[in-house]
Amino acid sequence: MTESSESCQQLRNQRPESVERPSKLARIESSDGGEEERELNMSPNPRIQRYLIAVEYIGTRFSGAQKQSTCRTVVGVLEDAFQKFIGQPVPVFCSSRTDAGVHALSNVCHVDVERISKRKPGEVLLPHEPAVVKRAVNHFLQKNEGDIMVIDVKCVPSDFHARYKALERTYFYRLLSGKEPLSTFEKDQAWHVPEELSLLAMQKACGVLVGRHDFSSFRAAACQAKSPIRTLDELTITEVPSSPYFPTMLEREQSNYASASSVSISKKLQNDSPTLAGISDELIENSGAVPVQGFGVRKRHRCFVVTARARSFLYHQVRLLVGVLKSVGTGDITHSDVKKILEAKNISAAPPMAPACGLYLGHVNYDLPSDA
């Protein structure tokens, strides 16, 4: 028996062998805004195993994460896949309810699965190993649009809730700056800003917004959270290589020079441009040389990534924050204006929010039980 299956078996053995009672509902304020009815399992069925499921998806063709009766959603597609896997409907609960068009590198859900014996209906079987769940659900997901995949599965106790047990959420937002039209490969994957963006100015603005504040100016009208007070643990912006990124000939040769395992230098580069073969990064930077743009080679955009990290966010808070940073970067507003917007405590004071296409749920952090 593997370590994962032993963990599942230990969790199952810890459950009381008592008669099922109806679950109770308690009203609490959710971690990302609004009052929610939270399910409290008083005495869980010992035949049911709860799994924590991490999924990645491209949000372009999803009408958000939360299930809707008439639209394609992340939860809806996952529930369909689980039903095909286990043969009966099961509800899926998401940690973060991303909007339509928002992507996820890792959104986390939980689901309760009862493993039923087809030969002996009354027989209690060991829970499926996490690897089996991952492989089976992905099999059915890939028969759909192929834009969502399970990346990790873990057995958790029956009272572990993907949403309410989350300690921290990290979002990323991608901006591409430059006059050139957006690449086909970047369509619906980032916000294209034709103007030049000042990295330094945007970084200074981040310093105003990070920390504990009343974020009423960064809260959409439909937000149901009781309080606009939130603690923004991190708000940073970094310039990174645009994606997809493929190294130039010069970059490949410089990498070979730096590598101890490099065997030889490209003869083609030596013959075509022998003076370039030994140029170091420092010499290129000091000379102010501009790389030659050959025919058929697309000019790269400058790519910026905003990182926002907190236990919870207000509705549309990250996109509104990015909208302000972008306006600072283009020079439409100043560093001091950002403070005024924050102090106004009214969304009408803020610039338009950033579109959904550049937003990625990056990671949801938990204090997870040990597998041991």
Name the residues annotated as catalytic: 99
Task: For residue 236, give the amino acid letter.
Answer: T
Name the β-bridge partners of 152: 54
Token pair 């639209």: residue:
71
Within 10 A of 132 (CB to CB), how many other CB atoms are there? 15
Residue 48 phi/psi, 5-degree rounding, is: -105, 135
Q: What is the DSSP string of 249-288?
A: HHHHHHHHHH-TT-----HHHHHH-TTTTT--HHHHHHHT
Distance CA 221, CA 230 (A): 16
Identify the DSSP state of 159. Answer: T
The vertex-202 CA angle with 182 and 97, nearest 5°, equals: 65
Q: In terms of Cα–Cα distance, which of 163, 159, 155, 74 is closest to 113?
A: 155
User: Please, what sign has the CA dihedral across residues 292, 297, 301, 302?
Assistant: negative
